[in-house]
Amino acid sequence: MARVVIVSNRVPIPNSRGPRAGGLAVALKDAVKKGGLWFGWSGRTTTETNGDAQIVRHDGVDYATIDLSESEYKKFYVGFANGTLWPLLHFRLGLIEFRREHLDGYRVVNDLFAQSLAKLLRPDDLIWVHDYHLIPLAAALRKLGVTNRIGFFLHIPFVPSSVFAALPRGDELMNDFCAYDVIGFQTVEHHRDFLDSLRRILRYPVDANGMILAPGRHVQSIVVPIGIDGVEFHKQAEQSVKSKNSRRLLDSLVGRHLMIGVDRLDYSKGLPNRFEAFNRLLTRFPEHKMNVSFLQIAAPSREDVTEYAALRPVLNRMAGDINGRHGAFDWVPLRYMSQGLARSTLAGFYRLARVGVVTPLRDGMNLVAHEYVAAQDPDNPGVLILSRFAGAAQYFEDALIVNPYDPDDIAEAMHEALLMPLDERTRRYQSMFERLRELTAESYCATFLHALENERATPAQIAPSEGHVLI
Ligand code: GDG
């Protein structure tokens, strides 16, 4: 098989203690086998950038990174990627801060990535580009004469064409998509919305197999949901629940139920509504007072983006209000941490929680939903509360599906989950765990790479199960 080259904004370079356990690193483990290359930004800014990649080899995989200047970082990462595209593609037009110089900076950095990467490429490499930071990368590589097969996967949602229309120079971005050979989406809905925008803006025909008939290039568009290694995470949770941290958590609960939320501190994750829902649970269903603790872990994220910094004081205040209003001298209802925890610790905490609360306002997939299900004890499983606007809701129908804009709806689901009898919890869990077995990280990589390798893949060839729908 050809060498696989992964390109993403950040590169999870393994440290001396072994591989980094971040979401993308875990999901792409099977794609970057020995001999592979992973390319991206180092996460560092410097005064002088020359675009030459620094390469570190670990376990047979080359990790190549480049630095950015402070100005490039601000325009590309803070400005266009996270100040315009992220809110746009999460349906938050009111949060967009578009500036032409940010878009120009976004293109400059994509050109820089292309120049640096092109020097490292071999003629038969399969190039797999990840996420909204790098939409123009294939077009930039094509300009440099790169003819390799190049695929792109969008981890976040796509929006209906009337929403995408708000993006200035959106037609340029649509053209950029057409420089790829394969484009993948998490759900049928994101895929459909993308094709609607493409048809409206560029007017290219799309055949029944999702093949975009662009001039001079046929682009295969597919739905390939990302997943985790559920069986492995299940084992990790079994071990982790016996750890010192899990025991400390369990002891601190003194027999109360635990509800858990785990998210990056991001406005798309719906945290204020979730806190309000917990407030309403305790107000409307006071039988839960003193009987439940809600642990919210919110790892800091993108703190240079104004909207992210603005979220912190809102949550701090809400947490204080809830605990002040409902708490007792021996019970803190809401335990809120704006710090991350180790992945292995999280695994045990998920297992201890009677309820997993995943209520983003929009999400491409949401892997926390997968992790919560994977971690459960089959003999006494917890209940997943899941936003209908997370991609995961398309796959986990047996979660309690809620509208994250309605705190009362979430509160009622919390109440139902806390009272749910064992037989119903078990039935829902078993059905979701079955789904988890199909939606693996391995099948995600294999399905995408199969499409990328095979120029004229047909739906029958690359849609082996319900989980990998092609439309
Ligand atoms: C994007 C899309 C899509 C969270 N807190 C801690 C921690 N995490 C880990 C979780 C999970 C990952 O981060 C978060 O994944 P999500 O899927 O929820 O969300 P995004 O970061 O927004 O990712 C999303 C994903 O790409 C993959 O395609 O599902 O829709 O937005 O794995 O466990 N990990 C550790 N400590 C924490 O405190 N170690």
Residue of 375, 468, 442 whose CA lies nearest to 229: 442
Q: Assess whether 204 and 254 both reside in one domain.
A: no
Judge whether 326 lies within some domain: yes
Q: Assess whether 74 and 210 both reside in one domain.
A: yes
Q: Strand 211-214 and strand 217-223: pairing?
A: antiparallel
Measuring from each residue's beta carbon to the nearest atom of ligand 1, which residues come in under 6 Å?
23, 155-156, 226, 262, 264, 297, 299, 340-343, 346, 363-368, 371
Q: Assess whether 418 and 458 both reside in one domain.
A: no
Take atom 10 of ligand 1 and give the residue whose Cα is closest.
368
Judge whether 471 lies within some domain: no
Q: Assess whether 263 and 126 both reside in one domain.
A: no
Q: How many domains does the chain have?
A: 2
Other residues' Cβ atoms within 10 Å of the Cβ of residue 101: 12
Q: Assess whether 262 and 375 both reside in one domain.
A: yes
Q: Assess whether 217 and 286 both reside in one domain.
A: no
Take atom 20 of ligand 1 and give the residue whose Cα is closest.
366
The structure's pTM equals 0.95
- Could you give the CA distance from residue 113 to residue 39 in angstroms, rounded to a whole number? 9
- Could you give the CA distance from residue 282 to residue 328 in angstroms, rounded to a whole number? 13
Give the H/E segment covering residue 175.
Answer: helix 170-177
- Could you give the CA distance from residue 24 to residue 41 in angstroms, rounded to a whole number? 14
Take atom 30 of ligand 1 and give the residue whose Cα is closest.
364
- Could you give the CA distance from residue 327 to residue 466 in angstroms, rounded to a whole number? 46
Q: H-type helices in 327-406, by residue range?
A: 343-352, 367-375
- Domain containing 81: what range? 4-227+441-465
Q: Assess whether 181 and 263 both reside in one domain.
A: no
- Could you give the CA distance from residue 157 to residue 85 in angstroms, rounded to a whole number? 11
Q: Just list the catalytic residues.
A: 155, 363
Q: What's the 12 CA to ligand 1 centre distance in angstroms?
A: 14
Q: Assess whether 80 and 186 both reside in one domain.
A: yes
pLDDT digits (tens, 9 = 90+) for 258-291: 999 999 999 999 999 999 999 999 999 999 999 9
Examine the pLDDT at 236 and tell me if it is beyond 80: yes
Give the CA distances from residue 49 to residues 95, 103, 366, in Å, rounded to whole numbers and listed in that order. 31, 19, 35
pLDDT digits (tens, 9 = 90+) for 403-426: 999 999 999 999 999 999 999 999
pLDDT score at 454: 87
Q: Assess whether 213 and 262 both reside in one domain.
A: no
- Could you give the CA distance from residue 392 to residue 186 in angstroms, rounded to a whole number? 9
- Could you give the CA distance from residue 150 to residue 148 in angstroms, rounded to a whole number? 6
The DSSP bridge partners found for residue 57 are: 62
Q: Assess whether 178 and 291 both reside in one domain.
A: no
Contacts for 415 with CB less than 8 Å, ≥ 6 apart:
281, 284, 285, 288
- Could you give the CA distance from residue 285 to residue 283 in angstroms, rounded to a whole number? 6
pLDDT digits (tens, 9 = 90+) for 334-354: 999 999 999 999 999 999 999
pLDDT digits (tens, 9 = 90+) for 204-220: 999 999 999 999 899 99
**CATH number assigned to the domain comprising residue 78:** 3.40.50.2000
**Quick one: which atom of ligand 1 is closest to the CA of 342?**
39
Residue of 144, 118, 117, 123 whose CA lies nearest to 63: 117
Q: Assess whether 219 and 345 both reside in one domain.
A: no
Judge whether 192 lies within some domain: yes
Q: Assess whether 218 and 276 both reside in one domain.
A: no
